[in-house]
Structure 1
Amino acid sequence: MENVVLVIHLILALTLIGTVLLQRSEGGGLGIGGGGGGATGSRPPATAMGKVTWGLALAFIATSIALTIIAAENAAGSSVVDRLIDAPNPTPATPALPADGDSLLPPTVGDDALVPSGN
């Protein structure tokens, strides 16, 4: 289910980018281009492309919320560290953390493991 929603989300994102880039610039967004009218001007009526953009934006937001809910349900009650410790058969590429944290500490000053043996 998550993969289906993710694919739909990516398609919506690319389509939304395309529709925004295809729209005609109105010139007033960044103060560039004369545009006239000032405070007395009114907005032009919504075009079909504007309505499509709004629809894609709403669908994009809906899939974003759906992906957030799915991810929260998949991760409920466990953390990454719990998954590493509880791994049944760790592979050499992903070793599990030791039960005691001592082996993760750097060697102490009096530790002879770092002294070269070849006197």
Structure 2
Amino acid sequence: MSSVLLIIHLLVTLSLIVVVLVQRSEGGGLGIGSSGGMGGFMTGRGTANLLTRTTAILGTLFFVLSLALALINQGTRQPRSLLDSPAPTAPAPALPSLPAVPTN
């Protein structure tokens, strides 16, 4: 389940990046989607509305998927701090052996 959500999250993230880069910013930006290359498919205003709506939907999906992944993986994490893990027990030091006493 977690792997499927992670793959969907990755696809939504990449789509969101592409849609944001395609939009025309106030300063010009990349503005790839608003040029005349659309072949008259949509007007500038229609393209802006479509891209704005798509950005809002993808942003909401990104937020929801991030929360879902955080909640699913909440119980599976292991303590990673040195203060949280128990101290390793050291073996007792070996006692020096006494020399063998010859018996007569």
* Mapped pair 1:72 → 2:74: yes
Structure 1 stretches of 4+ with a deviation exceeding 3 A read none
Question: What is the 5 A alignment of 1:15-54?
Answer: 15-27=15-27, 47-54=49-56
Bigger Rg over Cα: 2
Give the deviation of 1:25 after TM superposition.
1.4
Point out where structure 2 has 5 or more consecutive residues left out of the alignment. 29-44, 92-104
Q: Identity of aligned pairs, percent?
A: 37
* Mapped pair 1:57 → 2:59: yes
What SS is found at the alignment partner of 1:14? helix
- C-alpha separation in 2, matches of 1:65 and 1:72: 10
- C-alpha separation in 1, matches of 2:25 and 2:54: 16
What SS is found at the alignment partner of 2:27? coil
Q: TM-score if structure 1 supplies the norm length? A: 0.50
How many equivalent residue pairs?
71
Give the deviation of 1:80 after TM superposition.
4.4
* Mapped pair 1:7 → 2:7: yes
Question: What is the 5 A alignment of 1:80-95?
Answer: 80=80
- C-alpha separation in 1, matches of 2:24 and 2:80: 47
Point out where structure 1 has 5 or more consecutive residues left out of the alignment. 29-43, 86-96, 104-119
- RMSD, aligned α-carbons: 2.9
- C-alpha separation in 2, matches of 1:80 and 1:23: 42
Which residue number in structure 2 is paired with residue 37 of structure 1? none
